[in-house]
Amino acid sequence: MKKLTTLQIIKRRNLSAEDDISFTKILSGNFPNTYVFTKSIGEGELNKRAKDLPFSIFRFPISDLIPCIGTNHQ
């Protein structure tokens, strides 16, 4: 039996927009949003696999990645 990813399960279920939001909240648990959730996953994996190495994680704010109407992003 083929193992399905979470994304494949969501697509197979054809969730409504409302159900998709609820499902995202279930997956992200106590984290305020998916940005913080995925950042925590990355930090945890690095801490687990590279505990003896010094590292720092920097992620650009989401707003810097998405151009907004009326702004001069180049």
Q: Residue 69: which pLDDT band, with cuts at 50, 70 and 90?
A: low
Q: Residue 21: which pLDDT band, with cuts at 50, 70 and 90?
A: confident
C-alpha–C-alpha distance, residues 61 and 8, integer Å: 28
Specify if 30 maps to a domain: yes
For the segment 28-38, what is each residue's pLDDT rounded down to a tens digit?
Answer: 788 888 788 88
pTM attached to this predicted model = 0.48
Specify if 2 maps to a domain: no
Specify if 64 maps to a domain: no
Q: Which DSSP state fits 68?
A: P
**Mean pLDDT of the 44-73 span:** 70
For 20, the domain range is 10-51
Specify if 63 maps to a domain: no
Per-residue confidence (pLDDT) for residue 1, from 0 to 100: 64
Specify if 14 maps to a domain: yes
Phi, psi of 12 (to 5 degrees): -65, -35
CB 33 within 8 A of CB 54: no
Give one word for 14, left, alpha or beta, with left for phi > 0 and alpha for psi -120 to 50. Answer: left
